[in-house]
Structures are given as structure tokens and as C-alpha cells.
Homo-oligomer: A and B are copies of this chain.
Amino acid sequence: MSSASNQKHTAILDAAYELFGSGGFYETKMSEVAEQAGIAKGTVYLYFKSKEDLFMAVTRRDCEGFLLQLQERLKASDTLASKLSIIAKHHLNYYYERKRHTKLFFRAPNNNPELVAYMTQFMEQYMQDVVKVLLEGGASEPELMAQSYIGMLDRLKMDILFDPSFTEEDAYKRADFAAGLFIRGAMIT
């Protein structure tokens, strides 16, 4: 049971990730999710109690993966510079891999307090992970620093999402640029 059950649970999440990600929350129909998952409409409701609930689950799985992977990768390095580089690469690489599922980030169900709360908490967690790195480097105002760094990365990811010709290579270059800029500043005048 638990295995079969899990299989279907996962199939639904995968289908929903695909459709929410490429089409957006409002544009995706539950019947499409069911079809994509290869099951009946009613079955989706055996695993998720509503469309919003399903969206939350998709988001949660994705965000948790993001944080887990980040922590995993950070372990592998030691210097501050390399850690900042890893953060940047992870951030950009993450979006690079999700080029085709951008709607997940931009087109969430509106006015869902639970989702807002989760995203807030996710952002906080992400920021704290960066803060920890910065503190080892003795940064002052580490929270603003962390926010700024994440912000830089977040904007740099945009081209990835919108420019189809963007390569993974390009993503890594951008990551290094961001790390450098953050550490040394623009060094102008």
C-alpha cells in the first residue's frame, strides 16, 4: 500500500509541478493534472484536498529540495569566497534547471495566507543559511548583506529564465561575477 500510494502521490506532484510550472496556477486545471498523472480526476482529491493544497505541496517539495541541496553543497567547501561562489552557483543553477517551470515562482494562487507564510519562512531560512556563511567571514549587518546577495543573484537569474539561448556555462560565469562583485564591490570611483 504505502509504496503504491507513494507512487501515485509522487506522480501527482510531478504532474502538478510540470503544469503549474509551465502554465501557472490559475491556468492549470485539476483534470489536466489528473490526466498528466495518468489517473482519474477524483483520485487527485484522495491525495490532496484542494487545488491550493496541491500547489502548496508542489512548492514545499521544491523549496525544501533547494535548501537541502544548498546545505549539502556548502559542506563541501571551506573558505568564505568559495562558499559565496557555491551559493551563487547553486542559486543560478537551480533556476537554470527550472527554465521551463518559471510560472511556479511568479504565478501562485493569490491571497493564500498559508502559501504566503510558507514562502516567507522559506526566504527567512535561505537568508539565514547565507547569514551563517557571512558571519564566519565576520560581516557586519549580515542580514542586510545576505538579502543583498540573494537579491543580486535573483535578478541575475532573470536572463536565464527569459533568454532561451542562455547556457549552463553562462550561468556559472554569472555566478562568479556575482560573488566577485559582492566581495570586492564595483570598484568604481
Interface residues of A (CB under 8 A from B): 23-27, 79-81, 103, 106-108, 110-111, 120, 123, 134, 137-139, 141, 144-145, 147-156, 158-159, 162, 174, 177-178, 181-189
Contact = CB atoms under 8 A, between A and B. Distances in A.
Looking at chain A's contact residues, is the secondary structure mostly helix, strand, loop, or mixed?
A: helix
A170 to B, nearest CB: 11
Contacts of A159: 147
Specify how many copies of this chain sit in the oligomer: 4
Nearest to A138: B188
A65 to B, nearest CB: 21
Contacts of A81: 189
B107 A110 contact: yes
Contacts of A23: 110-111
Contacts of A155: 147-148, 150-152, 154
B139 A148 contact: no
